[in-house]
Amino acid sequence: ETGVTQSPTHLIKTRGQQVTLRCSSQSGHNTVSWYQQALGQGPQFIFQYYREEENGRGNFPPRFSGLQFPNYSSELNVNALELDDSALYLCASSPPHGKGDEKLFFGSGTQLSVL
């Protein structure tokens, strides 16, 4: 089975620009979530997508948005980039939910630098 894959691996943008990050979920997984990890900190939950709709959101402004496609892949879009958006962006996927004991698997992330 294929794991969670993210693209691109590295990206450099300037302040005010927009960026789109992509994620392919692991085979059989229908839920995708996104995390932001600033240098030296633990990952912070941005939002989760299930059945192509946002299904839970962390403390992030509306300029962080996403999409999930019928094949369960996902995009994270960030508008009006700020310097503090520089971080490792992680995508994670999980299988259909039941009791809460489903394993969540992470991709290797996209390192975004905003100059």
Partner 1 sequence: DAKTTQPPSMDCAEGRAANLPCNHSTISGNEYVYWYRQIHSQGPQYIIHGLKNNETNEMASLIITEDRKSSTLILPHATLRDTAVYYCIVRPGTTDKLIFGTGTRLQVFP
Complex with partner 1: residue 18 or 113, whichever CB lies closer: 113
Complex with partner 1: residue 24 or 31, whichever CB lies closer: 31
d(CA 80, CA 34): 18
Site string for partner 1, 15-54 (x = CB under 8 A): ----------------x-x-x-----xxxxx--x------
Lateral strand order in the sheet of 19-24: 5-7, 19-24, 74-78, 64-68
Residues that bind partner 1 (CB under 8 A): 4, 31, 33, 35, 41-45, 48, 55-56, 58, 88, 90, 92, 94, 97-109, 111
